[in-house]
Every structure is written in C-alpha cells, then in structure tokens.
Amino acid sequence: MFTRINITGKVYWIGVNDRKKHLFENIWPLPDGVAYNSYIIVDEKTAIVDTIESFGAGTSYLHRIEQHLEGRPLNYLIINHMELDHSGEVKTIIEKYPDVKIIGNSTTFKILAAYFGITENLLNTSEIGDTLDLGYHKLKFVMTPWIHWPETMMTYDTTDNILFSADAFGSFGTLDGGIFDDEINFEAYYEDNMRRYFSNIVGKYCNMTQKALKKLDGVPVNYICSTHGPVWRKNPEKVIELYDKWSCYEAESGVAIMYASMYGNTEAMADYIARRIAEEGIKEIRIFDVSKTHISYLISEIWKYKAVILGSCAYNGEMYPLMEQFCREMEHMSVKNKLLGLFGSYSWSGGGVKNLLKFAENIGWEQVADAIEVYGIPTDEKYTQCDALAKAMAGKLK
C-alpha cells in the first residue's frame, strides 16, 4: 500500500534509506547507513526539493513521485545542493518530466552543466522576485554557501515556516520507521551520528554555519527538513542549538586521549595519564588507538570534548603516519578552542613528540603542560611529568 508521509500542508517526505553504502564520500564509515531526504510539494503548482543519490533506489523513488502527483505534471525541481548524494536523480526526473523548471543559482547551474550537461529550463532564484508562489505554499530562497558546497542554498516556506535546509542539520543514520524527531530516540541513536556527520562533513565550515544561523535569527522555523537524518517538527530548536554549539566549538568537559603506539610504551602513558585524570575527578575520559579507530570517529570525539591529549611514538623521523593524518586533518579543518597535552616514546633521535609540538604551534590550541618525550620505556621521572599533565588538564576542566 502507498503511504504518504505528510510533513505539513502540502509537503511530503519522499526520501530513501541507503543501507548498502559502506563509506560516505568514499571515506566516512556508515555502520548505521544514511538517508537521502527528498521532499515533494503537491500544491496548485508542484515541486520537488532536492533528489537522492543514484544507488539503485531510483525506480521506487520515481514511482513514489508518480503516486504523489497522480498524473499531474511536475512544475519545479528545486536544487538546494548539487552534491551527488542529492542530484543523483535529477536527470531521470528531467527525462520523465521534460517541462520541469529547475530552480537554482548561477553556481548551481555551472555545476549542473558540468555534471549532467543540463543547460535548459533553468530558473535562477535571482529572477524569481520575493517569493515563488505555489498556491498555498510560498517559497523564498536563501544563499547559505559552503554548507556544504559553494552553491548551497536553503528554501524557506513562509506559509508554514518550513526550512528545507540541505545538508545543514543533517545526520548519518537511516530513518528506520521513525522519520520525525518525536518518533525517534534521538539520544540513543542519532546524537552521535549527527555529531559525526556535522564534524566530518560540515566541520570545516563552522564560520559559514554561524553565518547561516545568523541569517535564520528571528525567522520563525516550525519544521526543519534536512537532506539527511530526521525531520524536525516538535522541537526544531534542539537541532539548531546543537549545530550552533558545534559550530562554535563548544564542547563537553571531558578528555579524548588519542595515541599511536607500536610496542606499547606510548600506550602505557595514555592509560597512566587517563587514570590520573580520573583520580582528579573527571569522569568523561575516552582513550583511542589511532590505528584502530577510524579518523571519522576521532574527529567526532574532538567536537565532543574540550580536552585533547595526543601521544605518538616516533616513526622514521616523523610522528606515526596515522597520527600525522589526523593532525593534518585538524589543521585543515582549523579546529579551535581546545586544551592540549602531548606525549610519546622514541629510541633513535625522536620525531613523534617533536612533530606533535609543531602541530601544536600551527593549530594554536592551549598546551596545559610540557610535552612528555620518553626514550624507550617511561621512567618514574617521566611518569611524574605525566602526573603534572593530568593535574593541569583536570584543573582546567574543573
């Protein structure tokens, strides 16, 4: 039987779940899958807001569009974001509805031509005037570049205060029955998925997220329809608050200890420092081996906790390659506002801590104590330095 999932007014969810893909953007793990949300507005005029990734769900997606339209033409296809996880079915929609007008901005259309060779039936938002009148719903288009590509915009319905926000307010994780925020256990399943999505995908563009949030300031929003993850209708303020907090680098009072170790000396210090911090009364402490935990999760932990303690053994004159990859990513994302501690073991002429110190200088995080560099196995003297680091870090967090 055909189920309609009404958001409000004449707006319906027609998204799909992707449980096949292992890596989003071919890099970020998807143990819980991902949803590509698409929306159809069946008003006096009809419109689709964003499509889905082309991964084999296209036939059922098109079929659902037909069911909603009941023989009527599709008037508009609004492209908020051109990334392939949302533009994957643009071409099939145009083939099926050749008269559809595609709504986007100049940058959208450049990318649309480059990927699909589509150059006709385009309606630039700059030509639309104040609102696009669909009948009951009236749409405004707001540029929100770099969340997550330069062309990205949001569509806002002034009748029911619906924000079609593209990737902003999105999350990893499929929609398993529950689609709306009041139908799911957000804390149990989505919060970690959402922070990981935010940090991995949008984290580099925190300042642009802040700019977009400023544009939204004072605008009534009753529904948030992102392109990934739940639709917010009961408590949209919650997801706005989360994105605001994360894009300001506001984090919990806890410590993420991340280490690289081949023979256990650097690892031993990680455990020792963690124990000492716990003795100082800090409860939120997590230790990660960078060789085991995928960088996607390490990045997410950085957004979770205020304090970061990094340990690396030396490796061919450098820090350990996987730690180096992580540090490079932190610099590339220009993550701000962290408390930092450093440690590591070596047995030739070093390289691990030396390069972690260069990283610390480049990124500008507040180093709370001297770095602990150990020749071979840590001595009592070195463990005393670990005590000092733990005490200083706990002191800053309390």
Ligand X SMILES: Cc1cc2nc3c(=O)[nH]c(=O)nc-3n(C[C@H](O)[C@H](O)[C@H](O)COP(=O)(O)O)c2cc1C
Q: Decide if residue 151 touches Fe ion (CB under 5 A).
A: no
CA distances to 226, 236, 390 from 181, in Å = 12, 8, 39
Considering only residues 349, 380, 381, 398, which one is a binding residue for ligand X as defined by CB under 6 A? 349
Smaller CB separation from Fe ion, 35 or 184:
35
Binder of residue 263, out of Fe ion, ligand X, none (CB less than 5 to 8 A by kind) = ligand X
DSSP label at 2? P
CA 110 – CA 248 distance, rounded (Å): 32
| Total residues interacting with ligand X, rule: CB under 6 A | 20
Residues 205-234 that bind Fe ion (CB under 5 A): 227
For Fe ion, what does the binding mask look like between residues 39 and 78, x meaning CB under 5 A?
----------------------------------------
Q: Decide if residue 196 touches Fe ion (CB under 5 A).
A: no
Chain position carrying tokens 């292992």 = 22
Which stretches of 117-205 are DSSP H helices? 191-197
By CB under 6 A, which span of 36-44, 128-136, 186-194, 341-349 interacts with ligand X?
341-349
By CB under 6 A, which span of 80-88, 102-110, 273-281, 311-319 interacts with ligand X?
311-319
CA 271 – CA 378 distance, rounded (Å): 12
CA 225 – CA 169 distance, rounded (Å): 8
Phi and psi torsions of 27, nearest 5°: -140, -40
As measured in angstroms, the least distance from the Cβ of 311 to ligand X is: 8
Smaller CB separation from ligand X, 249 or 288:
288
**Which among 308, 197, 279, 208 is positioned nearest to 248, based on CA atoms?**
208
CA 17 – CA 12 distance, rounded (Å): 16
Q: Decide if residue 167 touches Fe ion (CB under 5 A).
A: yes
By CB under 6 A, which span of 50-58, 82-90, 233-241, 264-272 interacts with ligand X?
264-272
Q: Decide if residue 51 touches ligand X (CB under 6 A).
A: no
As measured in angstroms, the least distance from the Cβ of 211 to Fe ion is: 17
Phi and psi torsions of 158, nearest 5°: -80, -15
Considering only residues 315, 343, 359, 365, which one is a binding residue for ligand X as defined by CB under 6 A? 315
Binder of residue 205, out of Fe ion, ligand X, none (CB less than 5 to 8 A by kind) = none
By CB under 5 A, which span of 89-97, 136-144, 148-156, 390-398 interacts with Fe ion?
148-156
CA 141 – CA 158 distance, rounded (Å): 11
Chain position carrying tokens 């081996």 = 289
Smaller CB separation from ligand X, 247 or 355:
355
As measured in angstroms, the least distance from the Cβ of 165 to Fe ion is: 11
Binder of residue 167, out of Fe ion, ligand X, none (CB less than 5 to 8 A by kind) = Fe ion
Considering only residues 43, 50, 53, 85, which one is a binding residue for Fe ion as defined by CB under 5 A? 85
Considering only residues 346, 355, 382, 393, which one is a binding residue for ligand X as defined by CB under 6 A? 346
CA 226 – CA 176 distance, rounded (Å): 16
By CB under 6 A, which span of 114-122, 145-153, 163-171, 313-321 interacts with ligand X?
313-321
DSSP label at 379? P
Long-range Cβ contact pairs of 276-283 (< 8 A, separation 24 or more): 276/386, 276/387, 276/390, 276/391, 276/394, 277/390, 277/393, 277/394, 279/390, 280/390, 280/391, 280/394, 280/395, 280/398, 281/394, 281/398, 282/253, 282/254, 282/255, 282/393, 282/394, 282/397, 282/398, 283/254
Considering only residues 266, 296, 355, 367, which one is a binding residue for ligand X as defined by CB under 6 A? 266
Write out the residues near Fe ion by the rule CB under 5 A.
83, 85, 148, 167, 227
**Chain residues that interact with ligand X, rule: CB under 6 A:** 261-267, 313-317, 345-351, 376
